[in-house]
Amino acid sequence: MVHSVTLRKMGGSIGATLPKDLAERLHLDAGDQVFVVATERGLLITPYDPAFDKAMAAYRRGAKKYKNALRELAK
């Protein structure tokens, strides 16, 4: 689904308004935080923090490596 969004000046920034049907479909409300990521193909607007994915990947590596120690600490 492709939507055309017009950028508007908002104070010293530029903002975009999401169409109501798109916001409802994605369960987004006013005040929700989204992340804008510049990719090779353009801009990606996502509710998921890319840094969180990196942190979780690091956690998974550590949890796998130290699973016995973590199991003992959990007792």
20 Cβ contact partners less than 8 Å away, ≥ 6 residues apart: none
Question: pLDDT digit string (tens) for 45-62?
Answer: 888 887 887 888 888 888
Between the alpha carbon of residue 61 and those of residues 15, 29, 52, 64, 67, the distances in Å are: 38, 35, 14, 5, 10
CA distance 41 to 52: 22
pLDDT at 16 over 80: yes
CA distance 10 to 14: 5
pTM listed for this prediction? 0.55
Are the C-beta atoms of residues 50 and 35 closer than 8 Å to each other?
Answer: yes
Give me the mean pLDDT over the 32-46 stretch. 89
